[in-house]
Chain A
Amino acid sequence: MPPEARLKSPRGVSDVKPPRLEIQRSPSDVPLTEREEVPVFEVSDLSVYYGAFRAIRNINITVCERQITSFIGPSGCGKTTFLRCFNRMNDLVEIARVEGKLMYHGVDLYHPEVNAVEVRRRVGMVFQKPNPFPKSIYDNITFGPKIAGIKGDMDEIVERSLRRAALWDEVKDRLKASAMGLSGGQQQRLCIARALAVDPEVILMDEPCSALDPMATGRIEDLMEEIKSEYTIIIVTHNMQQAARVSDMCAFFTAEVNETSDTRTGILVEFDKTEKMFSNPSDERTENYVTGRFG
C-alpha cells in the first residue's frame, strides 16, 4: 500500500447502523469432516486499484467456513491489499477502488447499500503490528461490544475473550492496567481477544506474528488451531512453515511486472489444499517458492 494513502475519506463508510442481518451458521457440534464445506466468501475477478495503479488483478477464490486459509507470496504481491478487501478496510484509503465481486454469504460486500461498519463487526481483523488502544486491558476488550450495543455482563465478556486468546491467566490481576505495558506477544493476543469480543464470524490476520519471537508465535498458532472450530480465519504470512503448519487451504500470490509502467501487480498463482500446495503444487512458480528457490 502506498505510504501516502492515509486513512481518510468517509467515502463508503456510512455512520448509520442498520439492523443486524442474521446469517445462519451450520451447527458447530457436527465434526468438520462430516460437514459440508460451506463457502463464506466467494471472490470472482477481483481487482484493486490505488488511483491508476492496479495493485492486484482478477483474483478468484473461495473461503470456506471454519477453515484456516493462508495467503503466501513474496513482498509486494498484494496479499495485504487483498486481505483488506474482506472487511472493507480499503475503504479507508481514499484512492483505493475495488472491481469485481466479493460475495459474503451471497451478499456482495461492495454493493452500495452494504454498510461497511456492519461488515467489520462480522469480519474482525488482527494487524501486523500489535495495536492495542492506549487504554486499560479491560477497556480494550469492552470497546467493541459496547459500540455494538451488546448487552450483557462486560466482566464475563472480558474473561471469555481473554481466555479464548490464552491471555487470561497472565493479565487477570491487572485488567485495569494499561495495555501498553504488555509485551509484544501479549499485546497481539490482546488484539486477538479484542477481535473475538464482538463475536465475529471471520477473523483476518495480517502477518500477526511478524513482530513476535518464536515462543509468542507458537502461542498464537496454538490459539488459531483452538478457535478454528468456531471461526473462519484468513491469515497472510511470510512464514511458509507457518502456513504449512496452521492452514487448511493455501493461496500463493506473486507479482507480475508491467513492462510499460514499471509497476507490480499481484496475481493469484494457485489456490488449493495446503497439503497439496506444499507437497505437489500444480504450478511451477508455487513449487519454486515453497521449496525456497525463489522469493
Chain B
Amino acid sequence: MATPAKTLTNSPEFVRERLQGRRFDAGGFLFRLLLLGILLITLLLLAVLVIEVVSGGWSVLSTRLGDFLTGKLVTSSERAGISQGLRGTFFIGVFVVLIAFPLGVGAAIYLEEYAPHSRLSRIIDVNIRNLAGVPSVVYGLLGFAIFVKALRNLTGPESNGATVISAGLTLAILVLPIVIITSAEALRAVPDSLREAGFAVGATRWEVVKSHVLPYAGPGILTGTVLALARALGEAAPLILVGATTGFLSEGAGYGLSSLQERFTAMPIVIYTWGGRPQAGFQNVTSAAIVVLLVVVLLANTVAILLRNKYEKRR
C-alpha cells in the first residue's frame, strides 16, 4: 500500500485549495473525442452505403416493386426480377435453421455442460474457433467435393449436384462453428449458482440443463444463431463454387420440394451477376436487389430481437 507523503498537511486552507478549482483533463477529453470520431466514421460509412444503394435502386423499387419481386432473371433490365434469387435464399435460410442450429446448439451444450475439461476438449474448442475463421471459399470447395460431386445422387442427379440442397448444406456447415461458439459463450454466461440450485434439489444434469440452463442462455443463443443466419444469407463465394447460376433456370421453379433438386440461384449471386453488367439499367436493379437482401436480413434480426425480448422478460 502506498503511504501518503508526509509533506501533505490537512490544514483547512490547504484542503480548500486542493479541492477547489476545476481542472481540465486534457488527455481524457482527447480520448473521448477520438472514440466519438471513430464511431461517427463508422456510422458515416454505413450511411453512405445505404444512401448510395437506396438512391440507386429507388427508380426500380418505387415504380415496379411487385414486378421486381415476382419477376424472373431476364436479359432486359426493364423487366428483370429477383423471384428466383429470393427462392434460393429462402431455402438456404431454411437449411441453415434446420441443420446448423440444432447441430451447433447441441454441440455447444455437450462441450459446455457435459464434456470433461480435458486436453482433448480444449483442442476441440480451439479448432472450432479456427474453423470459424476459415475463408468461405474453402467451405465452397468442401461443398463442391462432398455435396456436388460425391453425393450427387442425393443432392440432384439431373442438375449434376449443383442444387439448392448442396448450397444449403454447404452454408449450414459454414456457419456451424459460429453457432457453436456463440451458443457456448451464452452457456458459459449462465451462473454456476443456478446449476448448483438445480442439483441441490435432486435434479439430474439433463433436468438442470433443460429447465434452468437453456432457458437462461436462450436469448443469447438466439442472438448468436440469427447473426449466423444473416452471414449465411449474404455469402456469395461458396455458392459460386457449388454451382449457383443465373442462366438456364427452370421455368416453373416454385417452392415445392421437387424444386430443391433443380438448378438454382440466390440473392448474392443475382447481385454479383447484375453488378458485373455494363448497362446503366442493371446498376439500378443491382441496387434494388441489395436493398431487398438488406431488408430480408434486417427482418431476420428483428424477429430475433423480438423473441429475445419476449424471453428475457420472463427472467
Contacts and interface: CB of A to CB of B under 8 A. Distances in A.
Interface stretch (B193-201, B236-244, B295-303): B193-201
B116 A11 contact: yes
Contacts of A134: 194, 215-216, 314-315
B201 A15 contact: no
A13 B198 CA distance: 13
Nearest to A119: B202
Which size bracket describes the interface of B in this complex?
Answer: 20 to 34
B192 interface: yes
Given A13-B205, A15-B205, A120 B200 contact: yes
B114 A10 contact: yes
Contact of B199 (A120, A133, A180): A120
A268 to B, nearest CB: 24
A15 B204 contact: yes
Interface in A212-240: none
B212 interface: yes
A172 B193 CA distance: 26
Contacts of B194: 131, 133-134
B234 to A, nearest CB: 35
Given A15-B205, A133-B212, A134-B216, A9 B117 contact: yes
Interface residues of A, number: 37
Interface string A124-142: 1101010111110000000
A15 B193 CA distance: 20
A144 interface: yes
B300 to A, nearest CB: 27
29 contacts: A7-B196, A7-B199, A8-B117, A92-B195, A92-B196, A118-B202, A120-B202, A124-B200, A124-B201, A125-B200, A129-B193, A131-B196, A132-B197, A134-B314, A134-B315, A143-B198, A143-B201, A143-B211, A144-B201, A144-B202, A144-B203, A147-B201, A147-B211, A148-B202, A178-B314, A191-B197, A194-B197, A197-B201, A198-B202
